[in-house]
Amino acid sequence: MLYKAKENADLGVKGCGVVGNGEIYGYELTETFFVDNSGCGTRGESALVFTDFLNKVKAGRYYGIREAGQFQVYIGEYKKLLSGQLKKIKDDSGILSSKKVKNNTRLTIYKNGDKILKLYNTEIIKWQGNTITLNSGGYDTKTTRARFNEFLPGQFRVYRRKGETFVTNGQYKDSENELRFFDGIELSI
C-alpha cells in the first residue's frame, strides 16, 4: 500500500507497505531509494540511513516498498497521474478499460481482446485468444485461488489438496481431469 507524505520529511513514511516491482496503475515511479532497514547502517554506505532517506521525502508524493532484503529495502517514490495523463497512457497502451473488480484486484481489457487480472501487482490471469495463463507470483494463497475460481470460465477450478494445488477442467476434485498447478500453466478454452 502506498503512503502519501503529508509534509517534507514525513515520519509516517515508515508505515509504507510493500507494493512490489510492477507498475502501479495511476502512479508513475519517479525515484527509487536504497535504504538501510536494520538500523545498523552508517553514512557513506551504499544504502541510505533512514534519516538521510527521510530528508528526501517530499510532501504530496507516494512511497512504497518495491523490494525488501534482510537488511535493506528499495523504496519507490511515486507521483499520482492526472486523469489526462491516465487517458494518454491508456490510449498509448491499447487499454480499452481498467477497473477495480475486487479488493486489491484490477481487470484490464485491451483493444485487441486480451485481458489481464492483477491481484496486487501480480498478473494472475492472462486471457490471450483461446489461451488462459495462470500465475500465482509465488503467492499460492486462499485469496489467489479464490480469484482464479471467480474469474476463470466455469469448466475450470483451482483447489488445494494435501498441501498441493491443482487445476481441473472437469468436475471439482476429479483426479482424471486434474493437473498439478505451476506458475505459467496454460489452459485452452
Q: Please give the chain's pLDDT, 189 residues, in tens.
A: 899 999 999 999 998 988 887 778 788 899 999 999 998 888 988 999 999 999 999 999 999 999 888 899 999 999 988 776 666 656 666 788 888 899 889 999 988 889 999 998 889 999 999 999 999 988 899 999 999 999 999 889 999 989 999 998 865 555 667 889 999 999 988
Neighbour-count burial of 58, counting CB atoms closer than 10 A to its CB (0-12 exposed, 13-18 middle, 19+ buried): middle
Beta bridge partners of 166: 159, 180
Instruction: Tell me whether residue 72 is in a domain.
Output: yes
Has this prediction a pTM greater than 0.75? no
- Domain-ending residue, one of 45, 80, 115: 80
Give every CB contact of residue 83 below 8 A, 6+ residues apart in sequence.
none
Instruction: Tell me whether residue 89 is in a domain.
Output: no
Is the domain of 42 the same as that of 114? no
Instruction: Tell me whether residue 103 is in a domain.
Output: yes
Is the domain of 112 the same as that of 144? yes
Is the domain of 63 the same as that of 137? no
Instruction: Tell me whether residue 86 is in a domain.
Output: no
Provide the grid cell at 142.
486462499
Q: Which of 152, 160, 154, 159 is nearest to 134 (CA)?
A: 152
Instruction: Tell me whether residue 88 is in a domain.
Output: no
- Domain-ending residue, one of 50, 80, 110: 80
Full residue range of the structural domain in which residue 147 is found: 94-188
Instruction: Tell me whether residue 50 is in a domain.
Output: yes
Phi-psi region of 40 (alpha: psi -120 to 50; beta: other; left: phi over 0): alpha
Domain total in the chain: 2
Provide the grid cell at 116.
489481464
Is the domain of 133 the same as that of 63? no
- Classified as helix, coil or strand, 177 is helix
